[in-house]
Amino acid sequence: MTVRPPGAPALQNFRYSDIDQYRQAVRSIDVEFTPLSRRISAHQTVLHLRGCDINLIRSFPRLLDAELARNCTAVGFTMDDRFPIRFNGVENDRSLLTVGHGGAGYKSLESVATQFASIMFTPEIKGRGWPAIGRQFAIFAITGASQQRLRDLVLEVLKFAGESPDALQVPGARTGIRDSLLAAVDQALATASSAQIGSRSSNRQFYMVQKIEDIVRADIAAPIYSEELARQLGVSVSAMDSAVLQFRGMSLHRYLRSKRLWLVRRQLLAGEVSVKACALAHGFWHLGDFSKSYRLVFDETPSQTLKNAR
């Protein structure tokens, strides 16, 4: 979780052209991601207000895991039309609004670069009639008009912050912005369909994928294989494959292979092992196939990565 340094401006802009330099600049949420492309062109605008943060980001193809901090509420929506996304196991490209309360999590597959916005409210929003939500973010189908109002409001607020930074020091201005955002979300939820799209997702599969992620992160130097994961989780390989397919949009084999490729890259960037030793340690026994896969993902050979690191 990133904390804004004391004295930093309320409005901050970040640009990234290299995945190894990318970082998350939003408070109140912990994010882990696996890129699906090496070359990126991402930018992020963050407006920090008391009790309310706005994040506007042009992202890159990636798998993403996020978990909110306690005592806050997050609302998210895309800024692009017809953007295909797999969010908490549900694939959709309609006008959607995602909502999560303190401690809630989500998993998404963003297969193409897109622009989206999120609004973080602190403390957690209560007493406005917003739907009760469990441990996962909920997804609501809203009208195109209400989604466009949210988009326009976010852009107007960011423009105001850029042109009138001194005005943000006025408590009434900050409170007014927060109230306008809350009212727009109220209106959007009032148009939402009664059934949550996300309710079709399986809690059991969600947490199965989460446990897989936890095991992978616990020992980044260890090879990742389906049989060992199944043993540790006490489930079948087919059950894991079904969960990963729903929440990641790809087979378990492809998902784990992608994870292993990024672990190889991390070790090569440390410059302490040979390409062959690193590849074999992570189960890539066919070195020609490994090199081809590596270059396809990272746009450079493993040897180039190691040379640059050293």
Give the C-alpha separation, 174 to 49, whole Å: 7
**pLDDT exceeds cutoff 90 at 117:** yes
The chain-wide mean pLDDT, for the chain, equals: 84
pLDDT confidence of residue 119? 96
Residues 128-138 have pLDDT tens digits of 888 877 788 98
Rounded distance between C-alpha atoms, residue 203 and residue 136, angstroms: 8
Whole-angstrom Cα distance, residue 142 to residue 78?
12
Mean pLDDT of 24-30: 69
Regarding pTM above 0.85, the answer is no
Cα–Cα distance measured from residue 267 to residue 3, given in angstroms and rounded to the nearest whole number = 28
Out of 33-42, 57-66, 263-272, least confident range: 33-42
Say if residue 200's pLDDT is above 60: no
62 has a pLDDT exceeding 90: no
Query: For residues 282 and 92, which has the higher predicted lDDT (pLDDT)?
Result: 282
The pLDDT of residue 74 is 94
Q: How confident is the model at residue 41 (pLDDT cuts 50, 70, 90)?
A: confident
The pair of structure tokens assigned to 245 is 């397919």
pLDDT for 172: 85
Where residue 3 falls among pLDDT bands split at 50, 70, 90?
very low
Instruction: Give dist(CA 56, CA 220) in Å, integer.
Output: 31
pLDDT number for residue 73: 94
Q: CA nearest 78: which of 103, 49, 121, 108?
A: 108
In the prediction, which pLDDT does 259 show? 82
pLDDT at 100: 92
The predicted-structure confidence for 270-289, as pLDDT tens digits, reads as follows 887 899 988 888 888 788 88
Roughly what angle, to the nearest 10 degrees, separates helices 252-270 and 226-233? Answer: 110
Q: What percent of the chain has pLDDT over 70?
A: 88
Per-residue pLDDT of 210-226, as tens digits, reads 888 888 777 655 667 78
| Alpha carbon 193 to chain centroid, angstroms | 25
**Residue 107 CA, distance from chain mean position:** 7
Q: Tell me the C-alpha distance between 291 and 284, whole Å.
A: 9
**DSSP calls for the chain:** ---PPTT--SEEEEEEEEGGG-----TTEEEEEEES-SEEEEEEEEEEETTEEEEEEE--SEEEEEEEPSS-EEEEEESSTT--EEETTEEE-SSEEEEEETT-EEEEEE-S--EEEEEEESS---SS-PPP--SB-EEEE--HHHHHHHHHHHHHHHHHHHH-GGGGGSHHHHHHHHHHHHHHHHHHHHTS-SS-GGGGS-HHHHHHHHHHHHHHHH-TTS---HHHHHHHHTS-HHHHHHHHHHHHSS-HHHHHHHHHHHHHHHHHHHT-S-HHHHHHHTT---HHHHHHHHHHHHSS-HHHHHHHH-
90-106 average pLDDT score: 84
Please report the domains of the chain, with CATH numbers, ordered by start residue. Answer: 11-200 (2.60.120.10), 203-309 (1.10.10.60)
Average of per-residue pLDDT across 89-115: 85
pLDDT score at 155: 96
* Preceding peptide of 6 cis, ω within 30°: no
**Which of 242 and 27 is assigned the larger pLDDT?**
242
Q: Is the pLDDT of residue 229 over 70?
A: yes
Cβ neighbours of residue 30 under 8 Å, at least 6 residues apart? 1, 66, 67, 69
Q: Is the pLDDT of residue 302 over 50?
A: yes
Which pLDDT score is estimated for 2? 42
pLDDT number for residue 65: 86
Question: Strand pairing partners for 68?
Answer: 29
Q: What is the pLDDT of residue 21?
A: 66
Residue 1 — pLDDT band, cuts 50, 70, 90?
Answer: very low
